[in-house]
A and B are shown apart, each in its own frame.
Chain A
Amino acid sequence: MSTVDEPQAAPEPRASAVRAFLDEHLRLVSAVAFVLGVAGLLVSELGDVHELRVFAAALISLAGVGFGIHTGLAGPRTLRVPAWLRSRRAAIGIISTVVAIAPAVVALVALLAGLAGDAGRDRSSMLMTLGSLIGVLMLAATLATGGLTIARINRAANEQPNPGDPAALDGEGAEA
Chain B
Amino acid sequence: MIPTREILWNIGSISRIALLTLMVLPFAFIAFGLARRSSIWRRGKPEDRFGQWGTRLKGALVKSIFHGRIIRRNKLYAGIMHALIFGGFIILFIGTLIVALEDDITVPLFGWSFYRGDFYLGYKLVVNLGGVMLIVGVLMAFLRRFGLRPKIQETAADDLILLTMLLVLSVQGFVLQALRLAVERDPWAEWSWVSYPMAIPLQGLSEGTLRDLHWVNWWGHFVTTFVFLGYLAYSKMIHVFTSLTNVFFRRLRPMGELASIPDLEEAESFGIAAFEDFTWAQLMNADACMHCGRCLEYCPTFNTGKPLRPRDLVLQIAGYSADQGGIFSGEVGEGENSARFRWGVGAERSLIGEVVTPAELWDCTTCGACMEHCPVYIEHVPMIVGMRRNLVLEQGEFPEELVPMFNNLERLNSPYQFPQNQRADWTRKVGAPVPVMAEKAAAGEDVEVLFFVGCLGSFDSRSQQTTIALTRILQQAGINFAILGKEETCNGDPAKRVGNEYLAQMLAMQTVETLNQYSFKKIVTACPHCFNAIANEYPQIGGHYEVVHHSPLLNQLIEEGRIQLDPESALATGKVTYHDPCYIGRYNGVYDEPRGVVNALPGVELVEMGRNRNKSFCCGGGGGRMFMEETRGTRINQARVNEAIDTGAEVLCAACPFCMTMFEDGIKGVGAEETFAVKDLAELVAASMRVPTPAAPADGAAAAED
Contact = CB atoms under 8 A, between A and B. Distances in A.
A134 B157 CA distance: 27
B447 to A, nearest CB: 44
Contacts of A12: none
Contacts of A108: 171, 175
B358 A161 contact: no
Nearest to A161: B334
B28 A68 contact: yes
Contacts of A164: 338-339
Given A149-B164, A173-B307, A93 B200 contact: no
Quick one: which of B33, B109, B325 has the most chain A CB within 10 A? Answer: B109
B540 interface: no
B146 A113 contact: no
Given A100-B220, A107-B175, A78 B205 contact: no
A84 to B, nearest CB: 11
A119 B205 CA distance: 7
A34 B172 contact: no
Interface string A120-135: 1001100110111011
Interface string B583-626: 00000000000000000000000000000000000000000000
Contacts of B648: none
B161 A77 contact: no
Contact of B172 (A62, A77, A103): A103
Considering the complex of A and B, which 10 residue pairs feature the smallest CB-CB distances, nearest first? A173-B359, A156-B333, A117-B204, A68-B31, A72-B35, A64-B27, A103-B220, A76-B326, A114-B204, A164-B338
A36 interface: no
A143 to B, nearest CB: 10
A56 B21 CA distance: 9
B469 to A, nearest CB: 37
A61 B332 contact: no
A22 interface: no
B194 interface: yes
A48 B569 CA distance: 93
Interface of A: 34, 37-38, 41-42, 45-46, 50-51, 53-54, 56-57, 60-69, 71-73, 76-79, 82, 85-86, 89-90, 93, 96-97, 99-104, 106-108, 110-120, 123-124, 127-128, 130-132, 134-135, 138, 141-142, 144-146, 148-149, 152-153, 155-157, 159-164, 166-167, 169-170, 172-174, 176
A110 B138 contact: no
10 contacts: A57-B104, A64-B25, A69-B35, A76-B327, A78-B326, A90-B333, A96-B227, A131-B197, A149-B164, A156-B334
A144 B172 contact: no
Given A107-B179, A107-B216, 9 more contacts: A50-B107, A64-B23, A68-B34, A76-B325, A97-B165, A108-B175, A131-B199, A145-B142, A156-B157
Nearest to B170: A138
A92 to B, nearest CB: 9
Contact of A54 (B21, B109, B174, B363): B109
B362 A111 contact: no
B160 A149 contact: yes
Given A68-B35, A104-B175, A153-B333, A134 B194 contact: yes
B333 A103 contact: no
B41 interface: no
Contacts of B632: 170, 172-173
B64 interface: no
Interface in B309-338: 316, 324-328, 331-336, 338
A118 B625 CA distance: 76
Interface stretch (B71-79, B285-293, B394-402, B669-677): B394-402
B351 to A, nearest CB: 10
Contact of B198 (A46, A64, A135): A135
A97 B397 CA distance: 48
Contacts of A38: 21
**Chain B, interface SS category:** helix
A91 to B, nearest CB: 10
Interface of B: 13, 16-17, 20-21, 23-36, 38-39, 104-105, 107-109, 135, 138-139, 142, 146, 155-157, 160-161, 163-165, 167-168, 171-172, 174-175, 178-179, 182, 194, 196-206, 209, 213, 216-217, 219-221, 223-224, 227, 231, 307, 316, 324-328, 331-336, 338-339, 341, 344-345, 347, 353-363, 397-400, 631-632
A152 B223 contact: no
B7 to A, nearest CB: 12
Quick one: which of B167, B217, B339, B356 has the most chain A CB within 10 A? Answer: B167
Nearest to A79: B326
Nearest to B15: A45
Nearest to B308: A173
Given A60-B21, A61-B24, A170-B632, A101 B168 contact: yes
Given A135-B198, A159-B334, A163-B335, A101 B213 contact: no
A74 to B, nearest CB: 8
A142 B167 contact: yes
Given A68-B28, A114-B204, A163-B338, A172 B631 contact: yes
Contact of B201 (A61, A72, A131): A131
Contact of B204 (A42, A119, A134, A142): A119
B307 A153 contact: no
A166 B360 contact: yes
A148 B142 contact: yes
A160 B32 contact: no
Nearest to A133: B197
Contacts of A97: 161, 164-165
A127 B197 CA distance: 5
B334 A110 contact: no
Contact of A174 (B39, B105, B198, B359): B359
Contacts of A152: 155-157, 160, 333, 336
Contact of B39 (A45, A64, A73): A73
Contacts of A135: 198, 201
Contacts of B307: 169-170, 173
Quick one: which of B108, B138, B316, B333 has the most chain A CB within 10 A? Answer: B333
A62 to B, nearest CB: 8
A137 to B, nearest CB: 9
B205 A114 contact: yes
